């Protein structure tokens, strides 16, 4: 049996801006709190000055009462948090944005007890805490062009179908799981590489984008330094991606 819960404590922007719903105009709606509450008013004030914090939480409870290698139950959780800065409001940088996020995971996804290739808990990304997104965005020509430079995962920009993040298990994922397993340097939530991405919004509902990403060699969590290893090492390369949507 499987169950999951997802809570948006603040406006959640896990991926680039175009994939998230815009915040309300009059206030920032925090669940379970009245609009006039102090925290909502604080968030509105921060947003007015160009500071947009976000927090997103996933929790998966899983159990295998029959089948598998052994019977067990477990809970796995993922917390993603960060801030998006509107540089135009903060420092009069026209069309500029800065995105910073980190993440933390904990729990057991019971994969070894089930004996499955795919992670039973969809929230599984990596173990422990890590720095995730760290990039600058420049919007040009009334958002017709969007340039992103910094650190992000390829899965944050490419081959994404957000609705597929709703199933509990990792066999069905927002990014095709074969890319994460087989494409060197293609990561989902959690692991970021250096990248340059250019997106052209051809119409209100269509776009073309292309990017160059750093392709890292295999690194353990200890060698990776929880996302703060910004180096290029011997054996690293690059890969290019392009997408029409």
- Whole-structure pTM value: 0.79
Which of 118, 145, 133, 131 has its CA nearest to residue 199?
A: 145
Distance CA 138, CA 97 (A): 6
Distance CA 18, CA 206 (A): 12
Hey, CA dihedral for 154, 133, 192, 182, is it positive or negative? Answer: negative
Per-residue pLDDT of the chain (245 residues; tens, 9 = 90+): 445 555 544 433 344 444 333 333 334 455 555 555 656 667 667 777 788 888 888 888 888 888 889 999 989 898 999 999 999 998 989 999 999 999 999 988 888 888 887 788 877 777 888 999 999 999 999 889 999 999 999 989 999 887 776 777 777 777 887 887 787 778 888 889 999 999 999 998 999 999 999 988 666 556 678 888 888 888 888 999 999 99
């Amino acid at each position: 049996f499987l169950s999951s819960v997802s809570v948006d404590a603040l406006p959640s922007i896990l991926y680039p801006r175009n994939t998230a719903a815009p915040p309300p105009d009059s206030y920032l709606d925090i669940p379970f709190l009245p609009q006039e509450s102090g925290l909502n008013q604080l968030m509105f004030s921060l947003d007015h000055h160009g500071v947009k914090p976000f927090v997103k939480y996933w929790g998966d409870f899983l159990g295998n009462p029959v089948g598998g290698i052994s019977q067990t139950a477990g809970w796995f959780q993922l917390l993603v948090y960060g801030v998006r800065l509107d540089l135009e409001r903060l420092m009069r940088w026209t069309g500029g944005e800065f995105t910073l996020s980190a993440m933390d995971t904990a729990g057991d996804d019971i994969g070894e007890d089930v004996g499955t290739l795919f992670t039973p808990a969809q929230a599984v990304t990596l173990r422990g805490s890590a720095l995730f997104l760290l990039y600058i965005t420049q919007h040009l020509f009334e958002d017709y062009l969007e340039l992103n430079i910094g650190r992000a995962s390829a899965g944050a920009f490419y081959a994404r179908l957000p609705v597929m993040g709703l199933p509990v298990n990792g066999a069905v994922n927002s990014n095709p799981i074969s890319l994460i397993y087989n494409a060197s340097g293609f990561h989902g939530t959690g692991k970021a590489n250096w990248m340059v991405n250019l997106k052209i919004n051809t119409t209100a509902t269509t776009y073309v984008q292309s990017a160059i990403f750093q392709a890292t060699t295999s690194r353990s969590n200890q060698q990776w330094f929880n996302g703060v290893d910004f180096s290029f090492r011997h054996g690293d390369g690059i890969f290019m991606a392009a997408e029409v949507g």
